[in-house]
Structure formats: structure tokens, C-alpha cells
Amino acid sequence: MIKRLIILMLAVFSFQLVHATEGMWLPLLLQQLNEAEMQSMGMKMTAEDIYSVNQGSLKDAIVHFGGFCTAEVISNQGLLLTNHHCGDDYIQAHSTLGQNYYQDGFWPGSKSEELPNPGLFASFIIRIEDVTDKVLENVTAGMHDKERQAWVSRNTERVKMEAQREAYQDVIIRPFFEGNQYFLFVTETYRDVRLVAAPPASIGKFGADTDNWVWPRHTGDFSVFRIYAGPDNKPAEYAAENVPFQPRHFLPVSLDGVNADDFTLVFGFPGRTEEYLPSPAIEQRVDVLNPIRIGIRDRTLAVMNEAMRNDPEVRLQYVSKQSRIANSWKKWIGESQGIHKTNGIAKRKAYESEFQKRVAANPEWKAQYGDILGRFEQLYAGQAPYAKAREYIGEIAGRNIELFRYINTLHGVAKSYNASGAPGLAGRMDRIKNYVEGFFKDYRPEVDRQVFSSLMEVYFNELSPEYQSEFAIEQFVASNKDYQTLASLIYGKSQLIRPDVMRQALEAGPDVLAKTIQEDYAYHFVRSISEVNEGDALKEYQRIQEDIDLLQREYMKAQMEVFSEKRFYPDANGTLRVSYGKVDGYTPRDAVQFEPHTYLEGVMEKYIPGDYEFDVPEKLRQLYKSKDYGPYGEAGKMPVCFIGSNHTTGGNSGSPAVDAYGNLVGLNFDRVWEGTMSDIHYDASICRNIMVDIRYVLFIIDKLGGAGHLVEEMELVHPKK
């Protein structure tokens, strides 16, 4: 009891100040909120060096890569560096068993051999503006939410129309602090982005699932692309006459590396965090929803991993799918463990206790905010059964069984046909054909069928019966309640997973295609399950979630008023952010202390010949044996990765890690397992981001890939000499 009280007291006294390394900050506001602190930690730049609209600055070298990762420009010819796992879909798309760039690496000798990637884009941020007053014009405190949203939407469109921009630029406006603040972003998007180089997967994904979210790490997680522009250096669609893009700024590359306690800055587009959730939301996620997700993906990964180990073709087809499923699976495990290890829920409750105490002491706050926390308790309790059903069906039908995702996509095609007839699909047939062909290219029904039979066991045994499909139950009973028999029935009778049938239907036109889809046995099975989720369960979940979202906006406003002495940073929402920290090890558990650097020696210690996770290319083994590290080694060793206390999340993959002077020293690609809870609870003692040392990247490009011409294109610097 005494120990628990001490934990609560420490939480109360420590919550008010944001840790120096916590936060994902808007670059526009660094001067007023962060510059002094950053310089006290060793930074030699100014806020203007990082973000400027008047001159080239760091932000002009940072791009949103495909809308899901970050990349940075590292030469005056538009050379772009990002993670291997950000580029692996494109590397895989260019690969065949006969010419397997994914497995063997891709090292073209000239720009003419660089490969186009339809659909891939790179977006720059030109400027950021606070437009809160304009967006919230005519919005009042007591206004009904529908009226409020109408005003916000109307004002947003007006502000976007009035914003100054070039014809080739775009304007987006995003809400911050749950809609209490709004910022405008002027962007410039380039759509001719070509693959330039990639290491073999045995380097770019070294350690694969076993090492994912883990430190010590030895992964060379990088790939190289190039932005091409029109002859006027403006954005242009892919064309042979396009030329390498000339950036406003590119990052010099440091050959001096980093030492423990060195300042680091990570610049990128973090996707989503929820740092200001109430304790009932965290409890629901950690103790209810995460176990559901983890258990389902345990089963999926067991099937996929076995198939990939036994068949190189399956491995090539499923590597990206498996990575997406495994990445979140392992993250959720670490998130739950980290919350419990750091007493995250107790600390959040202590924060809420202090909030309630301050509110109670102020009559105005008490009237306005006094019942917020109690209302959260009621809402999350009421939402719980629907949240569980949504999670079960979402994981099973939406994210793990490929047949379900495929059929639900085709259902959209059928809906369009039913609404508008053949003319409604006439202009979309080429896109539908491309989708279907893309699906079959990397689809193995024998693998998916095993996943199906395993997850149907979860569906019929763990999901509450009131959320199960009557039609699905009937088919299960008709299969003698045997999951393999059910799988054989569904996959055996479906025409939608037969490439020849689908190609004939597509060639025959919209009428035949729609008929083929809607008369399919598997279509009826899949839709019966999905429709239950889309019906009462999802509707009730969303109804309550709308109330939660409204209350969260009010709670966010209340926190910023009640804790006025605290620096608040907005949750990540896919917009450009800065996080800063230092190179720093950590103690994950009793008697274990992790150093902040790893070396090539560790790669060799993990080496397992022929293993799909820990194999090492022969040439890399030879380079290690001869210690042929060139200018990239350090004291006879080859640095590989390092960790720091920068606050990052998904979307920061590929973000540059720069030193105190703004030189590139590393490439962010992961977080440590113990600290993955930093999306909802940051703890400076164990939250660390993982970066590949830029010297290892250069070493692999030059010494292993023989692509020294790419290194020559960069500006190499020695800031410590």
C-alpha cells in the first residue's frame, strides 16, 4: 500500500512538466516553445535554420513519402533516402524470382536504370499557418456539434480558397488538440519518384520479426529513391524527359557519427498518437482490445511464417503482408507490457486526480468541467461490448483473411453497379482489372484458407453469439462444425478466387462482373459476417464514440486551461513535426543496461546461414573479415545502429536523424519494444527510437553495392573535426 501511494505521489509531482525529450512539436512554433531548451541540450542551429519560409531550411529537405513514411533529400539532384520497409512494396513490385531485387538488392549504375513507381509521391511542406481564428469564426461554446461542424467545414473551405499558393501547390487544413486549434499547410507534391538502390532483404530486413521493435538492433533499414521534376523543376507526372529535382535544401551527411549524450533531432510526419486519453480508454486498450488483436494475429502469423519458410515464392509474395500484420502485433504486445511496467495507468489516474482537485477549487471550472471524468467512465463502460465485437470482426474480416478484404472491395463494385447500372462501372473497369490482377499476383489461396480455418475458430468461440452471422452459423453447422471442412466449402465453391473466371467476367463487362460477384457463395458468406459488424454493433460503437470524441475535445480544452503552466504538444496527425533528444542507452529490466550503439560484429553474432531472418550476404561477411570499412568505420569497427530519446511513432519511419548542426547522422526506423506505449504514455526512462547509422548506409551502398557514384553525389562533412 505504501509503495502504491509513493507511486501516485511521484506521478502527481512529475506530470506537470513535459520531459525535455518528450513531444512532437510543430516546426512553426519552435522559436517560442523549444529553441532555448534545444540549444541548452547542445543544438547549434536556430529555429530559423529548421523552419523558414524566407530561405532554404531543414524542412525543405523533408518529404512525406507516399503519405505513409518520411524521406529526406540528400543531394542537389533529388536523391531521396528512406527506410527499406517504406520502399519494400516498390522493391517487391519490380522483383521476380528470376530477377529478385528484393532478395539480391538493386544497384543500378546510372540514372537511366532507375525504376518508376506509379502512384508513389513525395510531398514537401512549403509553409504552415495558424488559422484557428478563421476556422472557428462564428463558432460559439454552446453550439450544437452539427452546427459547429457545418461552420468549421464552411470556414475551412473558405480559408483554403483564400490561401496564397502557386497553381501547382495544394492546401490542407488539419485540426489540432481535438479541434481546439487549426493549422494550414501549403504543400508541393512530386509524382515521379524512381527507385535508385536497395540493399538485399538480408540487410534491409535483417532480424525481421524476431528483432522487430527490439534493441540491440542490426538492421540496415534503408532504400534510395530519386525525385524527378519537369524541365522547370516543377511537379510533373512521370515522363522520360523529366529531370532530377533540384531542392531548396538537402542534408549534408556527417562521417563523424554520434556519441552518447550527443544532441539528435528527428524531423518527419508522425502518424497518430493519443497522449491525452483518459485512464478508462487506456485500460480498455491495454487489458481488453490488445489481447484480442494479439491473439488473432498470433494465429495468422503462425500460418504465414510456416508457408514463407517452406517456399521462396510464397516468401516473395507475402513478405509485405506478413510485415504489416507482424509489425502491429508485436507493437501491441510491447505497448501493453510498457504501460504496466511504468505504472502508466496509475500515473494517468494521478494526473486526473490532480485535474479534479484543481477543477473543484474553481467554481467556474467546476460548473464547466466537473463531470468530465465521470462521463468518460460511463461512456467507455457502455461502449465496451461493441468495441470488443468491432475488434474481433475488424481483425478477422478486415485485416487478416485476404478473401474477406478482397470480397468486401468487390462489394463496393457491386454496390456501384446496383446504384447506377453498367454506366456506373464503365469508366472504372481498367482500375478494377488492375486491382484484381494485383490481388492474384500475390495471393495463395492455400495459405489464406489455413488462416481462414484458424480464425473461424476464434469467430465461433470467442465472439459473442449476438454478433455472429446466422448464415455463417448455418454453413458452419452444415460443415459438421469442422473448420477445415468449412474452409474447403467456402474456398472450393468460390468463383471469385479463380483468375480465369474473373478475367472472363471482366472482359465480358459490368453486367457479367456484377452478376459473378453477387451470385458467389463466398460473397454471401463474407458479406453476412461484415453486415453484422456494419449493423447494430458498429452503429452503437460509433454513436458512443461520437460522444467520446466530443468529450475528448472538451477535456483537451480543460487540460490546457487547468494546467496552464504545462507545455502541451499536439497529438501526431500525419503533419510535419520535430522531436529532439539525445543518444542514450536505457535499462529495460533489472540488472540489464543497454548501450546506445551496435556494430557489424553483432550482425555476425546473429548470423544463421540460410535463415530468412538472420542470413548474411557472403560479400558482407567478406568485408567484415577483411575489415574493409573505408572511411565509414570507427576505430576498426563498423557502426550499424544507435538509439536516442527522440519521441517518435509510425510515420516517422524514414525520418532523418540530424546532429546539432543539421547534418544527417542516422535514419529513424523503429522504437524499442519496452517503449512502444509512447503513443499513449511517454516515459523518458525507457522510450527510445532506433536509427540506422548513416555510415552503415554509406558503407553498404559503396562497399557492398558498388554504387559509390551515389555517395559521390552527396555532400560529406566532418563537423567534429
Catalytic center residues: 85, 221, 653
State the amino acid at position 140 in one-letter form: T
Q: How many helices (H) and strands (E) does the chain have?
A: 30, 21
Are 369 and 359 in contact by the 8 Å Cβ rule? The answer is yes
DSSP β-ladder status, 69-73 and 79-82: antiparallel
Neighbour-count burial of 714, counting CB atoms closer than 10 A to its CB (0-12 exposed, 13-18 middle, 19+ buried): buried
Angstrom distances, CA of residue 589 to CA of 282, 337, 414, 518, 532? 23, 12, 54, 55, 44
CA 577 to chain centre: 14
**Which residue in 720, 707, 592 sits closest to 223, CA to CA?**
707
Angstrom distances, CA of residue 508 to CA of 433, 477, 501, 505, 512? 12, 36, 11, 5, 6
DSSP β-ladder status, 664-671 and 689-693: antiparallel
Are 95 and 37 in contact by the 8 Å Cβ rule? The answer is no
CA distance 691 to 260: 14
CA distance 721 to 718: 6
Are 71 and 81 in contact by the 8 Å Cβ rule? The answer is yes
Cell numbers at 91, concatenated: 522493391
CA distance 43 to 37: 9
Give backbone dihedrals phi and psi of 562, rounded to 5 degrees, phi first. Answer: -70, -40
**Which residue in 85, 95, 117, 497 sits closest to 312, CA to CA?**
95
